[in-house]
Amino acid sequence: MRLLGRWLAAQVGRAFLAAWAIASLVFLLSRLDAAKATDLLLGETDNLGTAVLRADADTIQHQARQAIEQRLGLAEPLFYTTRTQQAGTVSWHWHGLHNQYHRWLVGLLHGHLGLSFRDGQPIGPRWRAALAYTIPLTFLALLGAIVGALLVGLVLADGPQAALSGWRAGLHTLLTGLQGLPLFALALGLLFAFANPDMLNILPAYAGSPDDEELWGQRALRLVLPVLALVLAVLPELALLLAHTLRHELSTGYATTARAKGLSNGKLLRRHALPNAILPLLTALAGLLPALVAGAVVVETIFALPGTGRLLAEAVAMHDYPVVVAGVLFTALARLLALALADALYAWADPRIRLVP
């Protein structure tokens, strides 16, 4: 148990370090391009300047730029040290703790994600509002994917052992085909098939609702298509993996013994093979949550859900870097959570791991 604990801690620690490193990298890279951000804000204040004489426009523009840089904290140096190059000689400067990176890191530890470049508002509340849409979506999809994978995997592994035949082979081919499709094509296909005035118009296309007065049933109905798209995108990999392991387990000695004792095929699968086949599935589950969070970017854009994914996609399109950095942090956090969860489940599913002295 102690050994497992140490291994788990090392694993999570590594993932944590990686998350910090990638977020810092994105932060630093994005701030190198900060001139664009102030241009973005200047664009909004430009119409104030039209009333002023043309000759003053340049100085006013300059002052406005400085004011914006001050407000967003872009006036300070970027990092602890900077390298300056003047007339061929290169020198290093030490800035101490008054730099953008330090400020960002400290703010992060206090739970402040920073200010948006676009409107200068804090990002935190916006993320919380978006999370209210993304968390139900992701967890419904997670649940659907797990249940679906278990069902489909069991169905695929059932039946004659020699080779897949009949409709099982068809299902297998279908799943393999689905596995290769990009999520956005899948979601567009679903949107076209089920929410189109020309085709079957049985499900609402756009999930985002402006009013909160809506009935719960309607809101759930709106989530059907996005969740279905996400589930279909991640299901094939899990189900095929499970079916493959199950078939492998069925060809081992203990399965033959159980069959010789007169156990039915279904019972053998569920009671004996499944507990052994579940471990590779748990490993795959660790990658599932991050995949769903990434998939949310596509699905929320297509189905017009105001969740975190769409926030991230819009921020990327508008060069709103602080929001992008927050998105990276959020995704990395989801992976951290998934990893810790998978480790805990691993210990629960396999007593051999628990019993390591």
Partner 1 sequence: MGWLLLVLSAGLLAPWLPLAFLPAVPDLQHVAEAPSWAASPAHWLGTDTQGRDVLTELVYGARQVVSSSLPAALLATLVGALAGGAAGFWGNKGLRLPWAVWLAGVAVGWWALALPGRWPCSLALAGGAGLAWWRRRSRTAKPTGWPLPLDAMFQSALTLLSAVPRLVLVLVFAAGPALGTPQLVVLLVLVAWPEAASQVRTQMLRVRELPFVEAARAAGLPTWRVWYRHALPHACRPLLATAPLSLAGLIGLESTLAFLGVGRPPDVPSWGNLLGTLQQEPGAWWLLASAGGALVLTLLALQQLAQQFGQRA
- Copy the structure tokens of residue 201: 């118009």
Looking only at residues 25 through 54 of this chain, which bind partner 1 when binding is defined by CB under 8 A? 26, 29-30, 33, 36
Minimum distance from CB of 242 to partner 1 (Å)? Answer: 20
198 part of the interface to partner 1, by CB under 8 A: yes
* Residue of the chain from 43, 180, 217, 262 that contacts partner 1 (CB under 8 A): 180
Minimum distance from CB of 158 to partner 1 (Å)? Answer: 24
Helix axes 216-250, 124-157, angle to 10 degrees: 40
- Residue closer to partner 1 by CB (options 167, 192) is 192
* Residue of the chain from 122, 125, 160, 182 that contacts partner 1 (CB under 8 A): 182
- Residue closer to partner 1 by CB (options 188, 345) is 188
What is the per-residue burial (b if ≥16 Cβ within 10 Å, else e) of 52-64? eeeeeeeeeeeeb
15 part of the interface to partner 1, by CB under 8 A: yes
- Residue closer to partner 1 by CB (options 122, 182) is 182
- Looking up tokens 């499944």, which residue turns up? 274
- Residue closer to partner 1 by CB (options 269, 309) is 309
* Residue of the chain from 80, 280, 301, 340 that contacts partner 1 (CB under 8 A): 301
Bridge partner residues of 89 (DSSP): 86
- Copy the structure tokens of residue 74: 């872009």
How many Cβ atoms are within 10 Å of 128's Cβ, its own excluded? 10
In the chain, which residue ranges form alpha helices assigned H by DSSP? 2-32, 34-49, 54-72, 100-109, 124-157, 166-180, 183-194, 216-250, 253-260, 265-267, 274-286, 288-302, 308-317, 321-349, 351-354
Bridge partner residues of 94 (DSSP): 81
DSSP-derived letter for residue 120 is -
Distance from chain centroid for Cα 273: 32
- Residue closer to partner 1 by CB (options 157, 315) is 315
- Looking up tokens 């968390």, which residue turns up? 135
- Residue closer to partner 1 by CB (options 36, 71) is 36
Chain contacts with partner 1 (rule: CB under 8 A): 14-15, 17-19, 21-22, 26, 29-30, 33, 36, 83, 90-92, 176-177, 180-185, 188-189, 191-192, 196-198, 205, 290-291, 293-295, 297-298, 301-302, 312-313, 315-317, 319, 321, 324, 327-328, 331-332, 335
